[in-house]
A and B are shown apart, each in its own frame.
Chain A
């Protein structure tokens, strides 16, 4: 609609002689320094992962003197290590898919309809986002043992839905409320059945919202570890448990630990990269 000749929202271009690229203001130093500070511990971790434990304990060097890949080799060869990643990713994916799937119809209901107890229900859901894992650790252990799911990825996936489902409902409801009801009504007039409308028209419209919800569910499930450790022992042991076990028993195999830790950065970095354009939108709703 707007031709190229008109700028929709005028950028703040102060009176300048030369119109080149972005101006560099002094205040940009602040986020720059902050980011450097953020990256330092990550760098240190990566640094250690490429050193042998002897070098780490023996000397203090800012980069590896004897660059080695043996820590990473160990992880890729030893099933107890790499299965840890597999297990973690398994329950995170199950949880994300489960949480977002059940949240979609529920969010739709909250966004479009009024029904008995809807406000109280919504609030009750939100309180579960605030559930402290510490409180639920032991009860969950008993509950999931009782239903025979102990030490499976399902136990962790289901346990994490306690706070991920409310989160997903909250985020999705926010995005859905931004879609006017006229869209639904037009579809019905055009002869769509509800489910066909929901899958073919509605979901693509809120695709960004679904992306954001998946991102946050992934994030909170991937990073949470108290419940993940409590509900598993051998078969479904997440990488966190393997790491902490190594730390206490094998007497500080620091290089190995560092490598294991570095590898856990990858799924996270991956996911952020994918949703980088939606991060601002998702946070803009303020519904983290």
Chain B
């Protein structure tokens, strides 16, 4: 168990990085508390795997330091850092039994057999693998094999962090949910620091206590799922999280009030916007847009049925605004008026929320 600190970390895969594009990870600082469940969420190429490898020690950072419980481990090998990792596809020792797979890390550390046996059985029952302990590991299904991978990490009592690199990629869809719940349950039980890398927001938001949203090598926001949803600090977070994502509308700010399509809009933070030639945008989630008698006039363009609610696509001034309505509500034809909930409508300058 360890508290992980990343200090002024920057990484480039190019020998002589010059421009911004050469840096896979732009300068970042991050603090992960001991025993937390974290997710690194972001699209392909955002740098999350790079970050994962820097924490685990498979990569040495171009600049900056990695600290475990205050100790500088930047030069330490992965083995020295006491890491466990579950990969995208199951990585198991095919020729060994499930038991031997789980016992392997312990035996390599010279732990005496009776202790090994006790520990292996304990973890096996936690993961519901006890029935298969004597079987050859290669004979299990994909989810069973991933459990073995996980088990090899858990079996070491002194493991600092358990990393997950998109571990549900090869799992059958109907089993993904089962495994996800199992992981969450495991975390509650053993309280080990876990870092889960994924591009799937559902996985991230259901597993993690706190999510680190990344884009193009930078950390965009760190927060709980609720925070990310209700107060996205960057339009990217607004887009990426939520389905459908946040509406981002061009706007102006005059006299401390936001104006969209010529209409004034009540917001939570327009008064603090400075402008200064930056690009101004309005962000409001479809969940917080409602039909009202008067407000912003829009044309109803499309209505999509999503089961218990409907996604209504509207247009005002050439900008698309999406909203959600319950299935019982009626949607007017042609024209309508929209109201944005002021508490959940924010102004963004150059993509960043105004504070």
Contact = CB atoms under 8 A, between A and B. Distances in A.
Judged by CB atoms under 8 Å, the answer to whether A and B touch is yes
Interface of A: 1-7, 10, 12-17, 19-20
B47 A5 contact: yes
Interface in B45-103: 45-50, 53, 57-60, 62, 75-77
Contacts of B57: 15
Given A4-B21, A4-B24, A5-B217, A15 B45 contact: no
A114 to B, nearest CB: 27
Given A2-B44, A15-B76, A19-B15, A10 B217 contact: no
Contact of A5 (B46, B53, B60, B62): B46
B50 A13 contact: no
Nearest to A1: B44
B313 interface: no
Given A10-B58, A15-B57, A5 B15 contact: no
Contacts of A17: 75
B23 A13 contact: no
A5 B217 CA distance: 7
Contacts of B49: 6-7, 10
B25 interface: yes
Contacts of B44: 1-3, 6
Contact of A15 (B23, B24, B50, B77): B77
A12 B48 CA distance: 18
A13 B45 contact: no
Contacts of B46: 3, 5-6
Contacts of A13: 58-60
Interface residues of B, number: 24
23 contacts: A1-B44, A1-B45, A2-B45, A3-B45, A3-B46, A3-B216, A4-B13, A5-B47, A5-B50, A6-B46, A7-B13, A7-B49, A7-B53, A10-B58, A12-B58, A13-B59, A13-B60, A15-B57, A15-B76, A19-B15, A19-B60, A19-B62, A20-B15
Contact of B50 (A1, A7, A12, A16): A7
Interface string B8-49: 000001010000010111000000000000000000111111
B73 to A, nearest CB: 10
Interface of B: 13, 15, 21, 23-25, 44-50, 53, 57-60, 62, 75-77, 216-217
A87 B49 CA distance: 57
B19 to A, nearest CB: 11
Given A10-B59, A13-B58, 6 more contacts: A1-B44, A3-B44, A5-B47, A6-B47, A12-B58, A19-B15
Contacts of B45: 1-6
A5 B216 contact: yes
B24 A7 contact: yes
Nearest to B53: A10
A6 B59 CA distance: 12
A213 to B, nearest CB: 30
A209 to B, nearest CB: 25
A131 B216 CA distance: 59
A16 B58 CA distance: 11
Contacts of B77: 14-15
Contacts of B50: 5-7
Which residue, B25, B45, B75, B76, has most C-beta atoms of chain A within 10 A?
B45
Contact of B23 (A5, A6, A16): A5
Contacts of A5: 23-25, 45-47, 50, 216-217
Contacts of A1: 44-45
Nearest to A8: B49
Contacts of B23: 5
Nearest to B52: A10
A288 B47 CA distance: 40
Contacts of B53: 7, 10
A200 to B, nearest CB: 31
A12 to B, nearest CB: 8
Contacts of A7: 13, 24, 49-50, 53
